[in-house]
Structure 1
Amino acid sequence: MGGSSNVMPVISKIYCSSSPTMLTVRKRPHVVNGGGFVVLNSSQNLVFTVEGCGTLGAKGELVLKDGDGGSILSITKKGGIAQALRTRNRWNGYLMDYEGGKKFIFSLTDPKCPMSNAIRIHLEHKGQSKGWDFEVNGSFIDRACTIENYKGNIIAQVEESTGGKDLYHVMVQPGHDQAFTVGVVAILDNIYGESTRC
């Protein structure tokens, strides 16, 4: 895909590859660590896990971990009085460091109508020409959606698998951040009431 080698990683360059990367997402039952899902590479090695409710003891809290169990992202649904007045939920992704600190990385707001609106993602910095950095288009429920940057380039695509709804693929384009992509997929999973939802 043109221009993808110029894209800066969202979380870290260690999660970017110089070639297209096919990830396989497999849901876990809710009885296993509060649900969530695991992500395997093409060699069937565990590269990421996403823990849903039950792990942190609260709804709307997700944790993305690497294959060794180290925490990468803490993803929370924003609460408070201001949020209670909104009909749409805002999700914030925070990079977690080895000391337990958190740094804001991105935000995503639920669509007004889950079946027809693109979902916009805003990174920590401001100033992109469209006022947003990434957009999810298509149907996550049908396993037919893309994550595109503000220039319209596809950075990742969620695809159906022959394993049914509990198993699907995410193709990440070269130079793009796989951890960020999986974090977005984790939020979509929760929005649409799948394995990370309590």
Structure 2
Amino acid sequence: MDNSMPVISKIFCSSTLTTLMIRRRPIVVNGGGFVVTDLSNNVVFIVDGCGMLGSKGELLVKDGDGEEILFISRKGGIIQALSTWNKWNGYSMDYQGKKKLVFSLSDPKLCITKGAPTRIHIEHKRHCKNWDFEISGSFADRDCTITDCSGKIVAQMGKKEQIGCKDFYHVVVQSGCDKAFIIAVMAVLDNIHGESTRC
């Protein structure tokens, strides 16, 4: 039985639970961002941030071969400036370079909304609420969880105890979940918290 839940593509969904290792690149090396490997140390995804792209609030997720699969940008403009939420949009990229909106992530930015959960809306889904995924916990402490709108955990982040530094952590992705989407969410959280993808 196929229990895959693709957001970006079915090719990024695995039939088994998957642990992905994330290592931050120093900003001075290849423009910052981070590299994602599997437990066999094979590069699965690469995330480029401001240092590589040259623009604040823009991120690029590539597969292990360096092919661009997702472009993420923080929404700007006067309406966004007046909003109590920061909004990020993720766009899939086809072979011709055309972009198609896949998801939107809303992060609280003001005191009155601080403590409110970060929510993700998937463009092509029928929603069980007015959002599809929710992020809880602390990214800064490397202890956060992504759940779907029914409360089911789809991914959980943690530190590797033997390494014990913020430059190296892991994300456990449940079977059937889209790993590229989870890494895209990690990239946005990294940027929000002023880490390796931010200038």
TM-score (norm 2): 0.93
Equivalent of 1:24 in 17, 21, 25: 21
Whole-angstrom distance in 1 between the partners of 2:185 and 2:179: 10
- State the Cα RMSD in Å: 1.7
Deviations 1:71-118 (A, max 9, x none): 010000011221122243100000011111100000001124697332
Name 1:174's counterpart in structure 2. Answer: 175
Residues 1:194 and 2:195 aligned together: yes
The worse-fitting range, judged by mean Cα deviation, of 141-150 and 122-131 is 122-131
Name 2:130's counterpart in structure 1. Answer: 131
Question: Given that residues 75 and 92 in structure 1 are in contact (C-alpha distance below 8 angstroms), is that contact kept between their aligned partners in structure 2?
Answer: yes
Whole-angstrom distance in 2 between the partners of 1:105 and 1:161: 31
% same residue:
61
Residues 1:153 and 2:152 aligned together: yes
Whole-angstrom distance in 1 between the partners of 2:45 and 2:125: 28
Whole-angstrom distance in 2 between the partners of 1:111 and 1:7: 30
The alpha carbon displacement at 1:129 in A equals 2.4
Whole-angstrom distance in 2 between the partners of 1:122 and 1:108: 6
Deviations 1:129-184 (A, max 9, x none): 21100000111111111110001000000011132100000000000000000000
Deviations 1:49-79 (A, max 9, x none): 1001022221000000000000010000011
User: Residues 173 and 5 (structure 1 numbering): CA distance in 2 closer, same or farther, change over 3 Å?
Assistant: farther
Q: 5+ residue gaps in structure 1?
A: none
Q: How does 1:3-152 map to 2 (within 5 A)?
A: 6-112=3-109, 116-125=115-124, 127-152=126-151
- How many residues were matched structurally? 195
The worse-fitting range, judged by mean Cα deviation, of 115-124 and 27-36 is 115-124
Question: Given that residues 5 and 174 in structure 1 are in contact (C-alpha distance below 8 angstroms), is that contact kept between their aligned partners in structure 2?
Answer: no
TM-score (norm 1): 0.93
The alpha carbon displacement at 1:7 in A equals 4.6
The alpha carbon displacement at 1:10 in A equals 0.5
Structure 1 counterpart of 2:6, which letter? Answer: P
